[in-house]
Each structure stands twice: as C-alpha cells, then as structure tokens.
Structure 1
Amino acid sequence: MTAIVPAAGQGRRMAVGYNKQYMQLNGMSIVGRTLYLLEESGMIDDIILVIPEQEINYAQKEVVEKMGLKKVRIVAGGSERQDSVYNGLKMIKNETKIVVVHDGVRPLLQLRHLEETILNAKKWGSAIVAVPSKDTIKIADEDKFVKETPPRANIFQAQTPQVFKKELIQDAYERAAELGYRGTDDASLVEWAGYKVKIVEGSYENLKITTPEDLLVAETILKEREE
C-alpha cells in the first residue's frame, strides 16, 4: 500500500510568503500532520511526498527528520498537480498493489474513511472520498445562461483520499500522458480511461486548507476533537 502525497502547490491565496503546507496547525506543520496521520494509521507501507524540487532539503530536515517519519520518501513535483502525481507514480515500488493519493493539505482525514476507501478500491478497483453538495449546482452554456440543473442528490464534491489498484491508475496516467489529456483530479483520469469509480461518503471536516479562513476552521475542528 503506497500513498502519494502531492504538496507542490504555491499557496498564493495564503499570502504568507512561503508555501502553505509548512504553516503551523496546532504546533505541527500542515503537511507534517498529514504525513504523520498516514504513517501512524497502520494501513500504509510506503509514503511518497511530492513537493517542489527547491524544497526537498528543507522538507527532509524540517518535516521528515524532525518528526521522525520512517516511511516517507520525497520526489520533485511537476508544473501541475497531475504532473506531480505522475512523478510519484513513477517511484512506487514493484510490490505495491494499492495506490492512495491524498492531498498534503488535508490533515483532518478520519481513519475510518481512509479504511473504507481502501476496502472499496480493493473490491471495485477505484474509490474516492466525497461529500454531498450542500448547494444547488447550475450547468451554464457559453453565454452564462443556465443550461441544466442536475438533481442535487446526485452531486458530490470530490475530496481525497482517492484510492486505486496500481495497474489501473498507472494505465490511466500513462494513457493521459501519451494523449495529452488533462483531468481535474486522479479519479477524472481513471473515469476518462473507462474505469468505474466508487464513492465513499466522507466528512465536511476533511477540508483542503487553501485560505486563512480554512486554517481557522481546521484549528477549531482539532480543538473540538481534543476536547
């Protein structure tokens, strides 16, 4: 079981002068908290952290070594998230059977959702964590007029982890690279390649920390969990 943790984003919306994954969340960096969660879960054998090349030395010393993480390897990311995950896929070990992709800035994942997603991926080939949309979604035409309002019961917001059998996600990524297809997440590539993806209903607490407001919410969630 290998986890690929993409964390190569620039985090410009945080406006703090350095990448958001190194911001502190209750005494631990965001990405460090995510890696610790995966390593301590007991479900993951190998973790590949994908970050900008210029940050590798810093992350090795200030995150991996300082936190005593034993399962983490670091790989340089690409220009976009898809390229970064692909770089990680190229580094997985031959004995890997299941690949877990989880955002480095989603540190509040509950382990029961990780476990359920893994079990569903083993059964169906692919599974992702998602939550029902709280809002009504409108599909617009080119002129910004409403074209369609899909039933809200069928609308889910995709999160991570997204979990796949190794040969399936490798096939999807290799075909996408060959044909120049760009997806919006890992599951979209797998769907495009013709595979089915099972949804595991997760939690709204599993937020992706991208703004200062997200960080405040995450701190509140952690405080409530500790209490």
Structure 2
Amino acid sequence: MQKNAIIVAGGSGTRMQSELPKQFLLLNGKPILMHTLEAFNFDDIEIRLVLPGEQIEYWETLCEEHTFAVPHHIVQGGETRFHSVKNGLDSIKGNAGLVAIHDGVRPLISRDIISASFDQALTHGNAITSVPLKDSLREISSNSNRSVDRSVYRLIQTPQTFQLGLIKEAFETPYQSAFTDDASVFENNGGSIHLIDGDYRNIKITTPEDLLVAESFLAR
C-alpha cells in the first residue's frame, strides 16, 4: 500500500510578529518545518512539501545550511490552503494508496499517531485527528450568549489521512470559504468523517507563545 504525506506550509509571520514566515523560524536550533518533515520520515511514506513559489529557493538554501537530508518532493502552492492541498494531490500519480495531509507548523506530531492515522484510514476511508476540549464553551449570538456542552465537540488537528482516490475526488469540487480543513472538503463530497485520538502536544505554531510552548515540550 503506497503511503503519501502532503505537508502544507504557506503561512506568513504576521501573527508570529516576524518578517520570516513562521515555518522557517528556529525551534531548538533548526527550522520548524524540518522537525515536521522528520516526523514523517518513514521508509514507506513519500513526502511532498507544498510551499509558495517565492519561498522554494529559500527553503532549498536552508536545507543546505542545515544539511537536511529527509527525502521529499517540493510542490508549488496555490492561492489558498485548499488550492495548495489540491496541487499536492495532483502531483501524486494514480488513485491507489493513502495520503496524510498535515500542517507544516505542527512539528510535534508523534510517529505513533501518524502510523495510527494510516491504519485507520485504510479501514474507514479516512482518519481525522482530534482532541476533546478542556475549556468551557459558550455560543455567541447577536444579543446574548449561552453555555454549551463541550463534551459533544472536538478540536480538530492534523494529520488528516484519507484513501487517496476518495480525497482526490473530493478536491475536484470548486473552492468554498467554508472549507477550513481537508475533512470539510471530504464531508462536502458526501464522506463520513472518522475521528481518531490526537495529542494536546500537537500544537499549531502561530504565535510567539506557541513557539515557547513547543520549545518547552521538546526540552521535556
């Protein structure tokens, strides 16, 4: 069974208060994105890294500077995350196999979860990583707000892993602003979502505070 991973890294440094795109910021001495690719460096997983065209040359320079040797293909990204993922999917020949789609700035994903996501997607068609909410939750309306039962909600993470032919078919639909992740695209095409357990350490690094938390996790 062919296994693929699409790592999507198209963010800017705006919320990180940095001129450097967040995926290139250093975490324990090397760019965040390198930690992410290392997590997916299995013998049987073919990695595709999707980057904005203007960042590809800089990434290649970083790979030379850090002697980064994890094998991967580079794919040019699109206008939105949806289009970037579609470009990554289109770069994979055929429809056989599985594909995990993952945020480039989630460098602390565990290899056990990656393996589990492929196993579950093989059985159920997809495997969407999620964790329960820890905080209380309130629903806001125009004039009021109310408490809601947090136990019936989940926070969605990546990887989101799919049978390749099914997710390729789903991404043939035109882009919609409601597509906040790959699961929403799959669901829009009639797919039923299969949730698997994620990890609270699998944070998405978007702010300076997130970077401090990630450094703390790695130090432990």
The two structures have a TM-score, normalised by structure 1, of 0.89
Q: Deviations over 1:125-155 (max 9, x none)?
A: 01111110112333333x1533x65432221
Q: 1:123 to 1:144 in 2, by over 3 A?
A: farther
Q: Match of 1:195, as an amino acid?
A: G
Q: Which residue does 1:74 correspond to in 2?
A: 74
In the alignment, the residues of structure 2 paired with residue 61 and residue 161 of structure 1 have an alpha-carbon distance, to the nearest angstrom, of: 27
Verify the 8 A CA contact 2:36 2:105 in the aligned structure 1: yes
Residue pairs, 1:1-227, within 5 angstroms:
1-39=3-41, 41-44=42-45, 46-63=46-63, 66-70=67-71, 72-94=72-94, 96-141=96-141, 143-146=142-145, 149-177=147-175, 180=176, 182-224=178-220
After superposition, the Cα gap between the structure-2 partners of 1:120 and 1:208, relative to the gap in structure 1 and judged at 3 Å, is same
Structure 2 segments unaligned to the other structure (5+ residues) = none
Higher normalized helix content (fraction of residues)? 1
Residues 176 and 182 in structure 1, CA contact (< 8 A), matched pair in contact too:
no
RMSD over aligned CA atoms reads 1.8
Q: Distance in 1 between matches of 2:36 and 2:63?
A: 11
Q: What's the CA shift for 1:184?
A: 0.6
Indicate conservation of the 8 Å contact 1:103/1:161, yes or no.
yes
Unaligned runs of 5+ in 1: none
Q: So what's the TM-score if we normalise by structure 2? A: 0.92
Q: Please list every run of at least 4 consecutive aligned residues from structure 1 whose deviation after the TM superposition is greater than 6 angstroms.
A: none
Indicate if the aligned counterparts of 2:102 and 2:160 stay in contact, CA closer than 8 A: yes
Asked if the contact 2:95/2:164 (under 8 Å) is kept, the reply is no
Q: What letter is aligned with 1:28?
A: K
Letter in 2 for 1:126: N
How far apart are the structure 2 equivalents of 1:173 and 1:158? 19
The answer to whether the Cα contact below 8 Å between 1:82 and 1:182 also exists between their aligned partners in 2 is: no
- Percent identity, please: 38
